[in-house]
Chains A and B, each alone.
Chain A
Amino acid sequence: MALLSKQNKEAFTNPLNLDHPILVQVLGICSALAVTSQLKPAIVMGLAVTVITAFSNVIISIIRNTIPNRIRIVVQLVVVAALVTIVSQVLKAYVYDVSVQLSVYVGLIITNCILMGRLEAFAMQNKPWPSFLDGVGNGIGYAMILVVVGAFREFFGRGSLLGFQIIDCKDFNNGMMTMPAMALILVGCVIWIHRAYFYKEK
């Protein structure tokens, strides 16, 4: 089997647009909204979720034939929780300030619906390599939204990007943009634009 056959390619590219985890499947909204008040935590969170989705997909896909059907949810939760613990320790060791900003939302990756959704819908039926691609695709799709919303909120809220001041005005501070409410409205607008241009009702 070719590494990038047509099906494998679709497993990777579908979640980036037509089968997008946030915009179309409406999964994993909780953390997507909460960590986007600045760009840096948004990027770190996107990376963390991509890594965890990809590897939990691979692990579950490898052991999928040995999991008894009745307890599969618990097995999936344990695999995900173990990976999240590792990622959380790595974040604390190397980017401590970001891990403080993310606070409980790193732990909440466990209950991120993208993970459970992909494990149930894809990894339980497919071989490890396509599952890996599917996980990476979904993770990147999720990270895209985080980066767009995070950049928008940091730029218009604080006039900076990644902590560098871009609008050089002394008292530039638009508190509304950094408030939780604007994250919801921005994601609503992103969904509006996406549906208007790409998404076709079946």
Chain B
Amino acid sequence: MEPLNLDHNEIMRYLSMPADSETKSIQELIEECKRELFNKLRPRFVYRVFDIEKNEHGIVLLGDGFILPGKDIVNHLDGAEKTIVLALTLGIEAELVIKRYARAQLTKTLVLEAVCTEIIEKYSDQVLQEIIKKEGLTQWIPNFGYGVGYGDLPLSLQPQILSLLDAQRKIGLTCNANHIMIPRKSITSIFGLFVEKREQADSCSICSLKENCQRRKDGFPCGRFKRDEK
């Protein structure tokens, strides 16, 4: 894939390291992983754009009738003119690169995971801009990508979201019986498109992992939300 401009601080966060840590060997490892991943990955995405409507169950994707249930997704999309449902995967190559090192070079595996996560973030940003441009939606402003499994939007919806997008056929993305997407380095996200920039809700408040989350305790919650707030 074309190399992306990755945010080094974010990678350090995923590694649970302070951004200013100057451990040379880790820095070198990050660069090595970036090179290897950019060289091997074949990321792909698929999306659909919907007009939406609110009802008592949640958000209805018009034209399809699909319902995104729950209060949190209503909050996320309340007032949105349209929504983009996006699935994106770094492909089986990400899986294979990580597996290749998983037993023998664990530190490298950890760094590969972190770099993959940041690639997904940046690739997602890039893809979203592409979609907005291509679909002539530039008059609106997107909010952050809401993931299936956040808040009260159940993870069990994942297979339906993937079939809504025909993601298996179009980008080779599957989901197992426990709702884990395979290839693992993949996301599905739901963006609202708004007339004006929205105040971002505290994303942690709806997160089911909030009690456990070391990142939150440390004062820097998930990269995606954090960046949106900047």
Bound together? no
